[in-house]
Amino acid sequence: MIKQTALINDIQHFSLHDGPGIRTTVFFKGCPLNCRWCHNPEAISGRRELMFYSQFCTLCGRCVEVCPQECFSIRNNKLNLNRENCDNCGKCIPTCSADALELKGTAMSTDEILSECLVDHNYYKEEGGVTLSGGEPLIQGEFIFELMKGLKTKNINIVLDTCGFVPYERIERSLQWTDLYYYDLKCISRETHLEWTGVDNTLILDNLSKLLNTDADITARIPVIPGFNADDNEIKLIAEFLLPYKEKITAHLLPYHNLGSNKYSSLGLPYKMGDAESPPKKEMEKYAMILNNTGIRTLLFSK
């Protein structure tokens, strides 16, 4: 049976860096990976999650009154949130006038997602369209294919942003609707990948190889993370991996940034990157050079 709804974190309009033209990006909730540097930590868990922005809290106490699980308490002029009991029922959300509480993960049907995207339909013109991102869109069962089908009946360009850690059959099925893949390529070393993302990259690399042998348009998205892959060696390995496909692939180098760190505290999670800094522009240029010199068309993004 097809899932009627999927959990959506956000639908972002006028997304500038999620593909060609003007795009609307749909962020699904749930990801098989758990990357240490993830700047969308609210997208990792496949369940709804409560975010608490303490800086907006006015200590009105309405959440304390309304929560059936008694998760909230006010002590020493501070609102405490005990997440252990929270079942993400969301009853506190409408009571929070200050918008200090937000429930991430709105259950939306394909039609609801479509109509939210279509708000921007006029702006797409020839190039733009919808980017399906997350989280991982390809773990959303049949729902994702229904949505892609729906987008295609409206002739909307689709970029699929995937981590690649899914059975290849799912990628294969998505081929018929996908105009461009944004395929995350994090590192080639198995051990490092496992350590930093929680999964072995064999499947990801195999899937990428297979996909590269189809006629799909693919952009490899390479996050450059200090301590993980921000060294010549790793970038060279990536270049070697991509070398056979240099005619058809484009690489994007995306520097690590810590702009997502506040989200961790809002989710009650520790930020695992500490005070790691973005790789300097010079360093990024060096990596871009390595790839470009191999003959792989590479674009450098700023944070």
Partner 1 sequence: MNERINSLREKALNCAHEQYRIRKYMSILTDENRNLPVIERKALGFIKMLEQMPKFILEGELIVGARTLFAPRPGENTEGGLSAESRLSKNLDFSPDAETLAVENPGFEFYPSYLTEEEKARGAKVGIAEGYVTSHCAAGFANILSKGFNGLKKEAQTSLAGFEPETENAAFLRSVLMIIDAIQVFIEEYAALAESEALKCKEERRAELEHTAVVCRNIKEKPAADFQEALQLTWFTHLFMLMENYNLMSLGRPDQYLYSFYKSDIESGKLNPERALELLSCFFIKLNDGSDLHTDNGLNIIISGLKPDGTDGTNELSWLFIETYEQVKLVDPQINIRWHKNTHPDFMRRAMQIRGHHPMPPMIFNDEVLIPGLNEMGVEIEDARDYCIDACQDVLIGGKSDFYPIFGGTYGIHLLKIFERVIPSLPEHNSFDSFYKTLLDELRSDVAITADETNRVDSMLPQISPTPVLSMTLEGCIKNGIDKTAGGTKYNFTGFIGGGLVNIVDSLAAIKKHVFDEKNVSAKTLTKALKANYEGYDELRLMLKNKSPKWGNADKIVDDYGVEIARIFGEEVAKQKNSRGGRFIPGLMTHHQVRLGKVVGATPDGRAQGEALAVSLSPSIGQMKKGPTCALSSAMTINHKILPVGTSVDLTLQNSFLQSEADLDKVITMTEVFLEGGGLEVQYNVMDPETLRAAQAQPEKYRDLVVRVWGFNAYFVTLQKEYQDELIARAETGAR
List contacts with partner 1 (CB under 8 A).
Answer: 12-14, 16, 21-22, 58, 60, 62, 94, 97-99, 119-120, 122-123, 125, 128, 302
Minimal distance, residue 241 CB to partner 1, in Å: 26
- Candidates 131, 177, 161; CA nearest to 25 is 131
Minimal distance, residue 125 CB to partner 1, in Å: 6
Minimal distance, residue 291 CB to partner 1, in Å: 19
Q: What are phi and psi of 135, to 5 degrees?
A: 50, -170
Minimal distance, residue 200 CB to partner 1, in Å: 35
Residues in the chain: 303
C-beta closer to partner 1: residue 117 or 166: 117
Minimal distance, residue 253 CB to partner 1, in Å: 14
C-beta closer to partner 1: residue 13 or 286: 13
C-beta closer to partner 1: residue 114 or 208: 114
C-beta closer to partner 1: residue 123 or 271: 123
* Contact present, 184 and 253 (Cβ < 8 Å): no
Q: Are strands 101-104 and 23-28 parallel, antiparallel or unpaired?
A: unpaired
C-beta closer to partner 1: residue 22 or 205: 22
Q: Which residues contact 129 (CB under 8 A, 6 or more apart)?
A: 19, 21, 23, 24, 151, 156, 157, 158, 159, 179
* Contact present, 110 and 147 (Cβ < 8 Å): yes
